[in-house]
Amino acid sequence: MSELPVTPAWSPGQPLAGWLRLTGRGTWLIRDAAVEHPSLRAHLNRHYQRDAQGRYFVQNGAQVVFVRLDYAPYTVHVAADGSLVAHTGQPAGAVQAACLDEAGVLTLLTELGAARADEATLEYFADRVRHADDQPADETALSALMHGGADTPALILDLPQGRVPLTRCASNDLPRAFGFVRDPQQQYGAEAPA
């Protein structure tokens, strides 16, 4: 007779990681399956938080469940009134910084945290990119910014809440630049890092 696999010991309140994920589009995944149930999505959104080390987690009673981020901690879209709303339903607040990565993904540092602009809103943001002399930026300027180099133009993102420089930031550098951890790399049953 074969033995059953041994499940690691776990105690209530001990942090967990490795099974809750947030995609770049703001979709919750549990063990790589999309969370379809509206009440569960609402629970995850309502209890989504950040710790002092920049790790994002969901607080479920006494349980802390760390979240692996595919890209950024939030995904934002533009509401009808021009405000930014996160995938959690929270207002994102004012934009403090903006960067474009090598693939053209726009990330905004908002009052809520680092947020990837939803793909459906990219045209909204592209129409608001300006050169330093206030002339509209074209695709050539955006491409030059994405690729970096000596001829990278100085661009500004002109939003209703104010203007911020639009810089280049490689996708791998975003966590350090915007102060978050993509993957806490904590296994089931492991102690939380100090």
Provide the 10 A C-beta neighbour count for residue 125.
20
Residue 65 belongs to a domain: no
Residue 66 belongs to a domain: no
pLDDT confidence bin for 88, thresholds 50/70/90: very high
Residue 187 belongs to a domain: no
Range of the domain at 81: 74-173
Residue 62 belongs to a domain: no
| H or E segment to which residue 63 belongs | strand 63-69
| Gap between the Cα atoms of 67 and 26, Å rounded | 12
Residue 67 belongs to a domain: no
Percentage, residues of the chain above pLDDT 70: 88
Total domains present in the chain: 1
Q: What is the pLDDT averaged over residues 156-175?
A: 94
Strand order across the beta sheet in which 48-50 lies? 33-34, 28-30, 16-22, 63-69, 56-60, 48-50
Residue 90 belongs to a domain: yes
31-85 per-position pLDDT tens digit: 999 999 999 999 999 999 999 999 999 998 888 899 999 999 999 999 998 899 9
Residue 107 belongs to a domain: yes
Q: Which of 53, 25, 45, 47 is nearest to 179 (CA)?
A: 53
Residue 139 belongs to a domain: yes
